[in-house]
Amino acid sequence: MPYPQKLLNDSESVVLDLRPHWWFLVPRLALQLLVLAVALMVLVRVDNSAVQILMGIGVLVALVYFGLRYAEWATTNFVVTTDRVIYRSGVLAKSGIEIPLERINTVVFKQRLFERMLGAGDLEIESAGDTPSHFSDIRKPDVVQAEIYRQMEANENRKFDRLGGHVEKLNTGATLSVAEQLEKLEDLRTKGVISDEEFQAHKADLLAGGK
């Protein structure tokens, strides 16, 4: 199922919404086919009701085992939005992680030769102050990496546009003293509109201009 729109923030939109690569299902599918093949051979060659019942139970167990894997695949989302990277999984019990784009430092993708042929691979996202997050069986991880960097840049540009508007209001507010403008900047920093580094830079400009 697609990522629920109701879980998005205001003005946030989904850029990528991916299921795990189909290779995620292959090991259990192979086991399922193997059990079916063995069961058919036994049913054809052995005329014993107890053995036939046992083979039937084995096939049923293998079907349930594969069904659980499929349900896990169907309820796993790797999502890139205009604000975050989101990973959610789980059929009944849900688990997940959300990484704001502004906290991401590095995105690394890894593909073995066989994975390159399939178009699958792994992603590792390193964010500020956190342990790197590892994601397996990602579809076209190189494309996903490029899209995350593209959204990081767009998000940064939007932040600077917002900041520019606030700073312009401060600069055009001729009736505001330097102290009042610093107070406004401090309010922007508290609300998370600007970072500590941006606050310090604009503070230095205001103090230099007030001398």
Tokens (6 digits) for 170: 């401060």
Ordered alpha helix ranges (H), the chain: 26-45, 49-74, 113-118, 141-172, 178-190, 196-210
Alpha-carbon distance of 88 to 72, in angstroms, equals: 10
Q: How far is CA 178 from the centre of its chain?
A: 42
The per-residue pLDDT string of the chain (211 residues; one tens digit each, 9 = 90 and over) reads 788 888 888 889 999 999 999 999 999 999 999 999 988 888 888 888 888 888 889 899 999 999 999 999 999 999 999 999 999 998 777 888 999 998 999 999 999 999 999 999 999 999 887 789 999 999 999 999 999 999 999 988 887 766 655 555 555 554 566 777 777 778 777 766 677 777 787 777 777 765 4
DSSP output for 3-24:
PPGGGSPTT--EEEEEPPPGGG
Q: How far is CA 79 from the centre of its chain?
A: 5
Q: In what order do the strands lie in the sheet with 104-110?
A: 104-110, 120-127, 133-139
What is the pLDDT at residue 70?
94
Which residues, 6 or more positions from 11, have their beta carbon under 8 angstroms from its beta carbon?
Answer: 82
Which residues, 6 or more positions from 157, have their beta carbon under 8 angstroms from its beta carbon?
Answer: none
Alpha-carbon distance of 117 to 24, in angstroms, equals: 15
What is the pLDDT at residue 24?
93
Nearest one of 8, 20, 133, 132 to 82, comparing CA atoms: 8
Handedness of CA 121, 124, 125, 131 (dihedral sign): positive
What is the pLDDT at residue 174?
47
